[in-house]
Homo-oligomer: A and B are copies of this chain.
Amino acid sequence: MPTLDFWFEFASTYSYPAAMRIGALAQHAGVSVRWRPFLLGPIFKGQGWDNSPFNLYPAKGRYMWRDLARICGVLGLPFVQPAQFPQNAVLAARVALVGLAHGWGEDFCRAIYAAEFGSGRNIGEPAAVAEILAKLGQDADAVMAEAQSDAVKTRLRTQTEEAVTLGIFGAPSFVTADGELFWGNDRLEAAMAWAKR
């Protein structure tokens, strides 16, 4: 079965519709998707940015929120612009790594995105992450302890370094088995088609 790596960041707005769409698209295309959380912060720092470009460049930011609202409207996805942006996504990304190793990671990722951009909640708060874990039937305390272990911290750091090596500079990004990079929710269909070639 063809494969596609889905690189995402919980602070990334356009990763929300991509995360909500990719499962059904992959099933229809017969493509196996690997979910790869990473951190944009270190990558943005390398570009000289200490904040989201959507905050640094206000015209671009205003446009992005409007564009995202339109996209969610077309897809029938709930959308609430969070008061806090960008959010601290480190804990959620570490928990996602734990979950993806245990079979409940994709549900967790979708639940995080739904809370953040579908309900406007701050998923940077540990209580919000814990609540989502509990709803998924997980032992929140145990999972969050594992997520904060050195092993998982290192894995997230290594994964972020791998993203840089692949040429990734934003999220969501999609990388095919032959190394072809696609950037943006609007490139998901093209990435899926490339994976199937």
Contacts and interface: CB of A to CB of B under 8 A. Distances in A.
Interface stretch (A26-34, A54-62, A128-136, A139-147): A54-62
Contact of A169 (B57, B181, B184): B57
A102 to B, nearest CB: 33
B190 A59 contact: no
A63 B186 contact: no
Contacts of A57: 47, 169
A66 B181 contact: yes
Contacts of A70: 190
Copy total for this chain: 2
Contacts of A169: 57, 59-60, 63
Given A57-B169, A186-B186, A190-B70, A181 B63 contact: yes
Contacts of A47: 57
Contacts of A63: 167, 169, 181, 183
A107 interface: no
Contacts of A66: 181
A121 to B, nearest CB: 28
Contacts of A167: 59, 62-63
Interface in A62-97: 62-63, 66-67, 70, 74
**Which of A59, A62, A167 lies at the interface centre, i.e. has the most chain B CB atoms within 10 A of its CB?**
A59
Contacts of A67: 182-183, 187
21 contacts: A47-B57, A57-B169, A59-B167, A59-B168, A59-B169, A60-B169, A60-B170, A62-B167, A63-B167, A63-B169, A63-B181, A63-B183, A66-B181, A67-B182, A67-B183, A67-B187, A70-B190, A74-B190, A184-B186, A186-B186, A186-B187
